[in-house]
Amino acid sequence: MQQCSVDPIRIFAAVVFSIAAAAASAEVANVGPNGFAVKHSMTIQASPENVYAALVGKVDSWWNPEHTYSNDSKNLSIDARPGGCFCEKLGNGGGVEHMRVVFASPGRMLRMTGALGPLQGSGLAGSMTWQLAAAKGAAGATSLEFSYSAGGYMTGGFDKIAPAVDAVLGEQLARFKSFVETGKPSPK
């Protein structure tokens, strides 16, 4: 079995590089000395049930492999139940817990807690919410309200990392929307 090495510098560089690839709708809602919050909203042309099913059951199909420790999205999974894991398998029986599921309501909401990527090595706690509802005025479409907030202690503060995190999450959301609507994680 191949052994995976985790290179935090490579991961941080990929996060920073992704700022340039972020969607224009990226929004850092708040940055302070103890944390930050990002928010995104979009309409997805699929029912809330189908959007939720793709979110939790097909994360390996839409998550960008450049933002994994193993460089392979096929190693990702979400166990969508309270206490379930958004996890990644690594070589030699290793793994990473990216987040822990704390609220799961199929077709309505998924909430997970944890510090993502380079935030994981700091003294941070985070909360990510995917809120789904039938889109008003768009039959069969879903309104997605997404938020991620993290707080605690991080060397150097949050001013520089918040836009990078927002850019990476914005990219993941664009890939997710494209995957749900077209079956491919990249827009045409």
Span 85-137, pLDDT tens digits:
999 999 999 999 999 999 999 999 999 999 998 899 998 999 999 999 999 98
Contact of 165 with 15, CB cutoff 8 Å? yes
**Nearest CA to 27 among 11, 17, 38?**
38
What was the pLDDT predicted at 85?
Answer: 98
What lies within 8 Å, CB to CB, of 180 at 6+ separation is 44, 45, 46, 50, 51, 54, 62
Q: Residue 145: beta bridge partners?
A: 41, 131
Segment 41-57 shows an average pLDDT of: 97
- Of 188 and 65, the one with more pLDDT: 65
3-state secondary structure 110-165: EEEECCCHHHHHCEEEEEEEEEEEECCCCCCCEEEEEEEEEEEECCCCCCCHHHHH
Segment 151-155 shows an average pLDDT of: 94
Give the Cα separation of 173 and 51 in Å (integer): 12
Give the Cα separation of 171 and 49 in Å (integer): 22
Q: Strand 95-105 and strand 28-32: pairing?
A: unpaired
What was the pLDDT predicted at 26?
Answer: 52
For the chain, the farthest-separated pair of C-alpha atoms sits apart, in whole angstroms, at 51
pTM comes to 0.84
What was the pLDDT predicted at 75?
Answer: 98
70: DSSP letter: S
Give the pLDDT band of residue 5 (cuts 50, 70, 90): very low
Give the pLDDT band of residue 27 (cuts 50, 70, 90): confident
Share of the chain above pLDDT 70, in %: 85
CATH label, 29-56+101-182, candidates 3.40.50.300, 3.20.20.70, 1.20.140.10, 3.30.530.20: 3.30.530.20
- Of 18 and 43, the one with more pLDDT: 43
Q: Per-residue pLDDT for 19 more than 80?
A: no
**Nearest CA to 119 among 148, 142, 94?**
148
Q: Per-residue pLDDT for 38 more than 80?
A: yes
Q: Per-residue pLDDT for 2 more than 60?
A: no
